[in-house]
Chain A
Amino acid sequence: MSNETKTMNQQGFVESFLSAGSDSVAHAFKKSSIAAIWFVFLTFPIMVIKVNTIEKTVAWKWENMAYIALAIFFGSFVWRWLLAQKELKKDETKGETKVEALLTVIQTTPLIKFSLLCLIGVIAVVAPLKFTFLSSKFQIFDLYQTNIMVSCLVYVVLGLGLNIVVGLAGLLDLGYVAFYAVGAYAYALSNMHWGLGFWFALPLGAVLGTLLGVVLGFPVLRLRGDYLAIVTLGFGEIIRLVLENWGDITMGPSGISNISRPGFFGMKMTIVDSTIYMYYIMIGLVIFTIFCVNRLQNSRIGRAWLALREDEIACQAMGIDKMKTKLMAFALGATWAGMAGVVFAAKTTFINPASFTFWESAIILSIVVIGGMGSIRGVIVGAIILILVPEYLRDFAEFRMLLFGAIMVLVMVFRPQGLHQPWCHFHLRPTWSCHP
């Protein structure tokens, strides 16, 4: 290994880049050519031929073939180089990259950590406000960006909630969106029928989420691993379909509109003001969530979750009630989803079942896994990436979701443990599993 690294250093960067993952540069060129030819073959029918069966016309788009060949030829060099870098890292577990070293310094020095947190806090607080400084207008987030930030913060709360279930307790839940939907509909319906305000609905959503978590969790938590995953997925779909078809109560697919925004002691607010108000509510909720999750993680029950995740049988032998502990995780995770649902309904003032599809669950799960399971910081970073990236990719219009999918794959391939790996010293086993 050390010999290899030496030769790697002796070679120029260009050469090492070109020949990464293969014997020589010539070999690498051959590999890339083969990959390019293979992908041209692979994408041939879908990319090149466009048949119109009604008008009986065929459009041939040969130029796409050239684009694919070029993209794959050059892309495959980058791909192999990145894979080789990942391998190198695996071998030298002790070596820290510069970014990681910087992070360690920040974490271990309380002064820097504190002042950084303060800086982030101040920026977060003043961001949506308008300032007049030396007669020039100054504003970090405009209305549109504040709106995006609010939805990003909603996803932070959702991610942190699901993190309890998936990251800490190790229960794969693919139907998390059900609790989110219940919170949203609880506020929307109670607001429509009885004029219930946001501040009463928020705890109501949390309680309903918890209750539903217990009710759904009770029968299914006996199942293991992927069986649990598919049953929770099923429950998520059942809730959505019921919302869609039970038109008398839920207004069906057309949804509920004109949900009132949160009030502040009966003050009248413009849309801009209430968006900024919403933003501050979300900042508060996120801080509250981080505080609770952090306390939970280090509590008796949090440690029980970690133990249960690592080894169920040993955990039971230590006298931990498996069922109760799992149910707690499920219900507590659902609580945050219920609250986030209320906020979502208040933010958009319109909800319909289409907002609560399986994709929503998949996105929330991706936030948790891409961020790094069990890590609060990771979840926040994951939410920012997964929610803000598609928003700012709007310039690419229709390519947005294509890039989004590609980014998900790439992050996982090159950083399978997630962006931030927590509890390094707790990891007894190299792989995390749903069942022992």
Chain B
Amino acid sequence: MEYFLELLLGGLTRGSIYALIALGYTMVYGIIELINFAHGEIYMIGAFTGLIVAGLLTMLGFPGISILAIAITCAIIWAAAYGYTIEKVAYKPLRGAPRLSPLISAIGMSIFLQNYVMLAQTSDFLPFPELIPEFGFMSDFKTVMSSSELVIIVATVLSCIGLTLFIKFTKLGKAMRATAQNRKMAMLVGINVDMVISATFIIGSSLAAVGGVLIASHVGQINYFIGFIAGIKAFTAAVLGGIGSIPGAMLGALVLGLTEAFATGYVSSDYEDVFAFCLLVLILIFRPAGIMGKEKTQKV
């Protein structure tokens, strides 16, 4: 039973991180129908920024919890800046170009960013300081759940709720939904579509940065290559749930995280990724538009 709980919570943690990254994929896809391959790299850059800031602050002797807050804030700021710039440089000149061109541009951007971080920092694994302290009240549950897992799950739930409220009730959220439904129409009713697209990239990148710092602190090490596999998995999660749909991305990420955790726990750890992709293939064969995708998915 305890093993089951451990796997369940591990799966939830994994799923939470996938969800934070998958939201960025699904929002961008919802608005400009682009698989943003550089999104995984933004997650990696967020983690690196977090590491640099946390390292500096630790040396300056800041208290524990404030380091976490400042590191996450800085990671969000820079990741958002990268997301914004990447859109302006690599995707905006390609609006109206053949459909696959932005995809190749995104793949090129991804290669570029990986090597940029590798050259500027290092190609080795870097140890990441443990930013999330062990909470006192968690000591009874230590065997099944660490406090960093709790923080990750809570942070994800809060971000998802915040994002949903933002999309539902703010003016910008409304503009995003409108742009996702029909870009031309949105332009005609006076929505600044360029601004909406930039905002989408900024929000998606910030969520990825939060995920990056939290998981790096949980796992304890990062290198320049972490964005690739996380990005692929998160994209799988987004498609699993029905791409373009926000609740779909969350659900897809949870399903993917839990499947991976239980499959590795009960069957074999060698085939972890195989299970993830088999699940994807099976679900798409029986539900070609993903779990939450209907005839018309709710986009953004």
Contact = CB atoms under 8 A, between A and B. Distances in A.
Interface of A: 38-39, 41-43, 45-47, 49-54, 56, 58, 64, 83, 86, 166, 172, 219-220, 222-224, 226-227, 229-231, 233-235, 237-238, 241-242, 245, 358, 362, 365-366, 369-370, 373, 398-399, 401-402, 404-409, 412-414, 416-418, 430-434
B213 interface: no
Contact of A413 (B82, B94, B111, B277): B94
A42 B112 contact: no
Which residue of B29, B48, B52, B232 has the most chain A CB atoms within 10 A of its CB atom? B52
A257 B117 CA distance: 34
B285 interface: yes
A245 B274 CA distance: 10
Contact of B100 (A42, A51, A233, A373): A373
A359 to B, nearest CB: 8
Interface in B12-54: 29, 33, 35, 45, 48-49, 51-53
Contacts, number: 190
B267 to A, nearest CB: 12
B96 interface: yes
B109 A409 contact: yes
A405 B239 contact: no
B111 A408 contact: yes
A49 B127 contact: no
A42 B280 contact: no
B116 interface: yes
Interface in B61-90: 74, 78, 81-82, 85, 89-90
B49 A431 contact: no
B201 interface: no
Interface in B273-298: 273-274, 277-278, 280-281, 284-285, 288-290
Contacts of B97: 412, 416-417, 431
B104 A234 contact: no
A358 B233 CA distance: 13
Given A83-B93, A233-B232, A413-B93, 17 more contacts: A45-B78, A47-B120, A58-B56, A227-B239, A237-B232, A237-B274, A241-B273, A358-B232, A401-B114, A405-B109, A405-B112, A408-B111, A409-B90, A412-B97, A412-B104, A416-B94, A416-B98
B127 A53 contact: yes
Given A220-B285, A222-B288, A407 B100 contact: no
Contacts of A433: 99
B104 A405 contact: no
B51 A431 contact: no
Nearest to B244: A226
Contacts of B117: 46
Nearest to A90: B96
A432 B99 contact: yes
A245 B78 CA distance: 39
B104 A241 contact: no
B265 interface: no
B187 to A, nearest CB: 17
Contact of B101 (A45, A53, A369, A406): A369
A133 B173 CA distance: 74
A375 to B, nearest CB: 12
Interface of B: 29, 33, 35, 45, 48-49, 51-53, 55-56, 58-59, 74, 78, 81-82, 85, 89-90, 93-94, 96-105, 107-122, 126-129, 232, 235-236, 239, 243, 270-271, 273-274, 277-278, 280-281, 284-285, 288-290
A162 to B, nearest CB: 12
Contact of A49 (B56, B104, B110): B56
Contacts of A47: 120
A230 B29 CA distance: 13
A409 B105 contact: yes
18 contacts: A42-B78, A46-B49, A52-B55, A53-B129, A222-B285, A223-B288, A226-B35, A227-B290, A234-B236, A241-B273, A365-B100, A370-B104, A402-B119, A404-B111, A405-B112, A405-B114, A406-B108, A412-B102
Contact of B107 (A38, A49, A366): A366
A50 B90 contact: no
A413 B90 contact: yes
A104 B103 CA distance: 30
A255 B97 CA distance: 41
A46 B120 contact: yes
A222 B120 CA distance: 45
A408 B107 contact: yes
Nearest to A367: B104
A238 B243 contact: no
A53 B220 CA distance: 12
B51 A51 contact: yes
A53 to B, nearest CB: 5
